[in-house]
Each structure stands twice: as structure tokens, then as C-alpha cells.
Amino acid sequence: MKLKQLSIPLENSPGRLHEVTKALGEAGINLRAHCICDSTHDFGVLRILVSDLPRARGVIMEKYIPARVDDVIAVEIEDNPGSLAHLLSLFLGTKVNVEYMYAVAGANLAKAVMVFHFNSIDLAIEILVKNSAKLLDANSFGILVEK
């Protein structure tokens, strides 16, 4: 149920994002989900779920760009007003905090997929499973799983 996400700090300069996405594309690595946010005026963080994490890490390392692998959870919710708030209400009164999240666009307009990074991922999974939330696995994203 945990997904491995690559987090890459990038200089906030023209062409830097292109350099990384081009290198991944040329290596045949597909971006399954992604977001980029500005952490300072000089740097941002590119967070990506990729089709082949070991190869993606190798490509990034060849570019001498630091990267970190983080555990995240993908949850499918109804694409209706209030669905996200309902899901988040499951964590009220717990010690689970959302550190960041982003949405994944898809073809199914009746559903939305949210990717979460929690301060306590195992406890978050326990709460979500107990409440019958639909957690998506690597196979749902076409992500190669290391054996």
C-alpha cells in the first residue's frame, strides 16, 4: 500500500525542470504522478511517482542531482464536494498529520486520487484501512515493484 516517491530539490531556474524530465523520458521512465512546489525563491521540490524507481534514481544520480525516496499513500476518493474533508476527518483526534498532499489527474471523472505524505504513515494506513478507504498500490499506477 505504500508507494515510493522520488523527491528532487531543483534550482528555481529556467530549464532545470526540463533537464530532469527530459532525462527521465529519454530513459523510458514514465511519470505516474507529480507535483512541484516552491520551497524557497531559489529552490523547489519535484515529487514524482515513476514507472521504474531504481532506473529513475540512477538517471538522477548521473545528473549529480540529490534525491530522496519517501513513502506516500495514494487514496481514491469520490470526486464530489466535501470528499477530501470527509477523508481528512478520519484523522481528527489522532496524532496523524498530513505533511503534504497532491492530486493525481485521471480519466475517471467520478473519482479523484490523492497522494499523501503523513508524519506517521503506518498509523495513517491503519486508520484508512479500518475506515474502508480505497488505498491504491503500485500496480494501480503501473509502477514496477522491486522484488
pTM: 0.89
Q: What is the pLDDT along the chain (147 residues), one digit of tens a residue?
A: 899 999 999 888 888 899 999 999 999 999 998 898 877 778 889 999 999 999 999 999 998 989 999 999 999 998 889 999 999 999 999 999 999 999 986 656 678 899 999 999 999 999 999 999 999 998 887 888 765
pLDDT score, position 23? 95
pLDDT score, position 98? 96
Q: Are 63 and 22 in contact (CB under 8 A)?
A: no
pLDDT score, position 147? 53
Q: Which residues contact 61 (CB under 8 A, 6 or more apart)?
A: 67
Q: How many CB atoms lie within 10 A of CB 37?
A: 10
pLDDT score, position 108? 64
Q: At what angle do helices 53-62 and 16-26 cross, to 10 degrees?
A: 130
